[in-house]
């Protein structure tokens, strides 16, 4: 992996450094299917509404969809560029870049002004995207794509890597399915990403904000164990005990308490979080 640059010395246009808060990179194919493009845009919009900073690479396809989604969600988005920040590439995204800046986002680059879009710039740019992010979400990717380079860099930097499943008949699903097979988190919606980020501290601290932004709320009992559970993927008590370095007896006792409170539920040999829709409690 190319070593990430000193993030404090990136060149930038717009709001930089960004405000505190979780950052998620959404990356994928430059030639996505309509499904992939729609998913990238929807995930970005939902994350932006939840206060997450959305990072992508200003490229054609999924990158542009992620930036557009973040803008439609009223959030901040950062474009990490493989050129100088004074050269928008592709040129067709000049207006999108201006919209990012006008909405309070940023264009950033490790390359000096005047740098042209050289092929070798983009793998390095992908490493920078991973370094700036708390998690990387891959929407669609063929084998050997730039999106997978970003995911690989994220793994080496000990960042969360997640992927969106797709059609088994599509070559665009080969990369994402390989990531999921190898242990990447499966993404069905923005809640899965927020759960992987630790359910986002703001949401944990303010259930009313969760209701307003995401349409679900956490139960009154907010045991910290909840942030290690997904509402989709089953986690066993033994896995939680290993992850948290706690005695399994303590983990089981806390899970039982949460289950009685309706915060978690058993599913097969493990547990999932039981987020309750706000409209069901109205």
List the domain range (segments joined by +) for residue 249. 216-281
Q: Could you give the number of structural domains in the chain?
A: 2
Alpha-helical (H) ranges within the chain are 34-49, 62-72, 94-102, 121-132, 146-156, 174-181, 190-196, 201-205, 207-214, 237-244, 248-260
Query: CA-based diameter of the chain, in Å?
Result: 61
Pair 149, 155: CB distance under 8 Å: no
Q: Are residues 68 and 131 in the same domain?
A: yes
Pair 87, 114: CB distance under 8 Å: yes
Tell which of 165, 195, 225 closes a domain: 195
Q: Are residues 120 and 246 in the same domain?
A: no
* pLDDT value, residue 1: 64
Q: Are residues 45 and 154 in the same domain?
A: yes
pTM listed for this prediction: 0.71
Burial 185-208 (b: 16+ CB within 10 A, else e): bbbeebbbbbbbbbbbebbbeebe
* pLDDT value, residue 55: 98
Number of C-beta neighbours around residue 247 at 10 A: 10
* pLDDT value, residue 281: 36
In a domain, 202, yes or no: no
pLDDT category at 262 given cuts 50, 70, 90 is confident
Q: Are residues 182 and 263 in the same domain?
A: no
Torsion of CA 268, 165, 3, 113, to 10 degrees: -140
Tens of pLDDT, residues 121-148: 999 999 999 999 999 999 999 887 889 9
**Domain containing 239 — which CATH number?**
1.10.10.10
C-alpha distances in Å from residue 159, one per residue of 37, 151, 224:
24, 9, 20
Q: Are residues 148 and 262 in the same domain?
A: no
Average pLDDT over residues 225-247: 77
If DSSP codes are grouped into helix, strand and coil, which group holds residue 148? Answer: helix
Average pLDDT over residues 196-222: 46
């Amino acid at each position: 992996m190319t070593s990430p640059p000193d993030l404090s010395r990136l060149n930038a246009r717009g709001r930089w450094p960004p405000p505190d808060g979780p950052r998620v990179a959404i990356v994928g194919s430059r030639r996505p299917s309509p499904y992939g493009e729609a998913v990238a845009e929807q995930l970005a919009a939902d994350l932006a509404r939840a206060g997450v900073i959305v990072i992508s690479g200003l490229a054609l396809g999924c990158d542009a969809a992620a930036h557009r989604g973040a803008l439609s969600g009223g959030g901040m988005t950062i474009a990490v560029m493989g050129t100088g920040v004074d050269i928008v590439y592709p040129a067709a995204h000049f207006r999108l870049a201006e919209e990012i800046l006008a909405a309070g986002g940023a264009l950033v680059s490790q390359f000096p002004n005047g740098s042209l879009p050289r092929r070798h710039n983009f793998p390095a740019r992908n490493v920078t995207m991973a370094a700036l992010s708390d998690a990387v979400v891959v929407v669609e990717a063929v084998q050997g794509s730039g999106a997978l380079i970003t995911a690989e860099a994220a793994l080496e930097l000990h960042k969360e890597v997640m992927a969106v499943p797709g059609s088994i008949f599509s070559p665009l699903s080969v990369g994402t399915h390989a990531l999921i097979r190898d242990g990447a988190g499966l993404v069905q919606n923005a809640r899965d990403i927020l759960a992987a980020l630790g359910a986002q501290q703001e949401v944990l601290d303010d259930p009313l904000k969760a209701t307003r932004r995401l349409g679900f709320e956490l139960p009154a009992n907010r045991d910290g164990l909840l942030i290690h559970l997904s509402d989709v993927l089953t986690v066993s008590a033994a896995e939680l005990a290993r992850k948290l370095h706690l005695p399994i007896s303590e983990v089981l006792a806390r899970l039982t308490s949460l289950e009685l409170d309706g915060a978690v539920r058993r599913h097969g040999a493990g547990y999932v979080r039981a987020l309750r829709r706000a409209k069901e409690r109205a």
